[in-house]
Amino acid sequence: MSPKELIGVSACLIGIRCRYDGKCKTEPAVTKYLSKRKFLAVCPEVLGGLDVPRTKAELKGGDGIAVFNGDARVVDRDCIDVTAEFVGGSKVAIDKLEKLGSIRVILKEKSPSCGIHKTYIDGELVPGMGVFAAILKWRGFKLVSDEELAEQQNGEADSE
Ligand code: SF4
């Protein structure tokens, strides 16, 4: 990887308070990895026009790929359909990353937007991608989760 390459990152992982509950989810492995790299922090839900804090939302009827294909929805706990905000914000975030030449993104696992390997669908944590992750993958980005990065760094520490 070129040292000049710009990495995209879920904003909540680096201390930005953009989660539904108004908090962040800082991951030391991510901040360590980015400490000497260029990066752009994005929150697709905020870029889609949703507030901080906001009502928690989850995938209904399928994962982010199904949402992107029009076969599933994103609905918050007040029964408001926020699918358009999730998809629209993901596209805004991806446009920003593409304009800066980014091809790699670090994402927050389990989120209905950013989850890469697992997310909540119909109230259950199951294998599947969030909406942002699904569209990023479709656009050809390389994705790594905060959990994978932490495991990788733990492995490196164990072998020292
Ligand atoms: S949408 Fe992604 S970046 Fe925004 S709060 Fe959720 S996990 Fe973090």
pLDDT in tens, 58-88: 999 999 999 999 999 999 999 999 999 999 9
In this structure, the residue with its CA closest to atom 5 of ligand 1 is 19
Query: Which contiguous run of DSSP H or E holds residue 11?
Result: none
Dist. CA 27–CA 146, nearest whole Å = 7
pTM of the model: 0.96
Q: Which of 34, 1, 120 is nearest to 10 (CA)?
A: 34
Q: For ligand 1, is residue 18 a contact (CB within 6 Å)?
A: yes
Report the atom number in ligand 1 closest to the C-alpha of 108: 7
Work out the average pLDDT over 95-108.
97
Work out the average pLDDT over 106-113.
98
For the chain, the average pLDDT equals: 96
Q: For ligand 1, is residue 118 a contact (CB within 6 Å)?
A: no
Q: For ligand 1, is residue 12 a contact (CB within 6 Å)?
A: yes
Dist. CA 136–CA 132, nearest whole Å = 6
Per-residue pLDDT at 77:
96
Six token digits for residue 69: 């294909």
Q: Which of 74, 57, 53 is nearest to 65 (CA)?
A: 74
Per-residue pLDDT at 1:
59
Q: Is the pLDDT of residue 159 over 80?
A: no
